[in-house]
């Protein structure tokens, strides 16, 4: 069975009038797929809809032969989900909690369940701490426990929503390694606003903002497409407005108290600008700002 996830014409408007998804269409193959966008872009709405936790107004989602929006129970059997807010019972041990989740996933044989729980705790590097209460776990350990529960029942589709927000650099690396290992044979959707998560892990990606897909593709190819078109200059803060009106400024940041701007241009804007090696962050900001420019012109 082909496990390609196909989303076509998906739309969702909330009762308060917010258009969370506007005609979203994506084809997501096996492997790590990055869904990148600012907070409030519609990423979590899309993730919850794929995870069968929310209804869409229109459109379709299929995973292989499964109709995700109609065959919810079948989808849940092959789904692993780590939501943005993953709550744990603080006074229960990791081992006991994972055993409870395994029962909910339909693993009723006690011996099999014990083996599965032990294997997943080893895989997520939590086996030595399996007797500890979840309330004593660090943020990174809690996220790894979240992945352990998402991996119960050998899922064909795994959704992780903002998994590295708040993790320290060491925990982020450990979590990345775990995700990369998982993503070889199943569809893994990584929804995030952290650009490095996508550039480090994903071979395919989409950028979403205001409920619309602005771009899809291979991150490395998209970076290559911008090669030679991103220029940088350090300016004083009071000059920013002038540069924003004169050039296509895609991002600004403070470095050592000075403002560094990145400008999109086919040619060197002037001799005071230096060319910079393009990053996925430049792809992200130029895509978002390109959309802003189109909306202004409309």
Indicate the residue among 161, 183, 217 that finishes a domain: 217
Is residue 92 domain-shared with residue 202, that is, in the same domain?
yes
Could you give the count of Cα atoms lying within 13 Å of 49 in the half-sphere of its Cβ?
A: 26
CB 46 within 8 A of CB 21: yes
Domain count, the chain: 2
The 3-state DSSP class for residue 82 equals: strand
Indicate the residue among 217, 235, 269 that finishes a domain: 217
Is residue 53 domain-shared with residue 146, that is, in the same domain?
yes
Could you give the count of Cα atoms lying within 13 Å of 140 in the half-sphere of its Cβ?
A: 16
Query: Which pLDDT does position 256 carry in this prediction?
Result: 86
CB 93 within 8 A of CB 57: no
Query: Which pLDDT does position 131 carry in this prediction?
Result: 94
Block mean pLDDT (10 aa), the chain, length 298: 86 93 95 91 92 94 94 91 78 92 89 94 90 89 88 90 81 84 86 89 94 94 93 93 94 90 94 94 91 38
Query: Which pLDDT does position 2 carry in this prediction?
Result: 63
**Domain range for residue 150?**
5-217
Query: Which pLDDT does position 166 carry in this prediction?
Result: 76
CA distance 172 to 163: 9
What CATH number is attached to the domain comprising 55? Answer: 3.40.50.300
pTM for this prediction: 0.86
Is residue 52 domain-shared with residue 177, that is, in the same domain?
yes
Is residue 149 domain-shared with residue 252, that is, in the same domain?
no
Query: Which pLDDT does position 262 carry in this prediction?
Result: 95
CB 31 within 8 A of CB 188: yes
Indicate the residue among 196, 217, 238 that finishes a domain: 217
Query: Which pLDDT does position 176 carry in this prediction?
Result: 85
Is residue 231 domain-shared with residue 199, that is, in the same domain?
no
Q: Which of 9, 175, 11 is nearest to 192 (CA)?
A: 175
Is residue 211 domain-shared with residue 236, that is, in the same domain?
no
Is residue 288 domain-shared with residue 146, that is, in the same domain?
no
């Amino acid at each position: 069975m082909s496990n390609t996830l196909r989303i076509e014409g998906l739309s969702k408007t909330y009762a308060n009038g917010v258009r969370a998804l506007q005609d979203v269409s994506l084809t997501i193959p096996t492997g790590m797929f990055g869904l990148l966008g600012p907070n409030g872009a519609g990423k979590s709405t899309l993730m919850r809809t794929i995870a069968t936790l929310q209804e869409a107004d229109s459109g379709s989602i299929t995973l292989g032969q499964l109709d995700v929006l109609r065959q919810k129970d079948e989808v849940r059997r092959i789904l692993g989900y780590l939501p943005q807010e993953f709550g744990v019972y603080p006074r229960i041990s990791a081992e006991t909690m994972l055993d409870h989740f395994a029962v909910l996933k339909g693993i009723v044989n006690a011996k099999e369940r014990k083996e599965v729980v032990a294997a997943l705790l080893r895989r997520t590097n939590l086996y030595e701490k399996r007797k500890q209460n979840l309330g004593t776990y660090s943020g990174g350990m809690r996220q790894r426990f979240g992945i352990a529960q998402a991996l119960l029942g050998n899922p064909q589709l795994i959704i992780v929503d903002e998994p590295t927000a708040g993790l320290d650099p060491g925990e982020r690396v450990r979590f990345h390694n775990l995700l990369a290992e998982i993503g070889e044979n199943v569809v893994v959707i990584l929804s995030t606003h952290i650009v490095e998560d996508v550039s480090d892990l994903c071979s395919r990606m989409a950028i979403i903002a205001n409920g619309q897909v602005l771009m899809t593709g291979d991150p490395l190819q998209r970076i290559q497409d911008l090669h030679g078109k991103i220029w940088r200059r350090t300016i004083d803060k009071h000059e920013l407005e002038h540069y924003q009106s004169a050039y296509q400024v895609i991002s600004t940041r403070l470095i050592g108290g000075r403002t560094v701007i990145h400008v999109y241009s086919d040619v060197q804007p002037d001799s005071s600008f230096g060319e910079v090696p393009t990053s996925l962050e430049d792809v992200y900001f130029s895509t978002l700002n390109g959309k802003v420019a189109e909306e202004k012109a409309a």
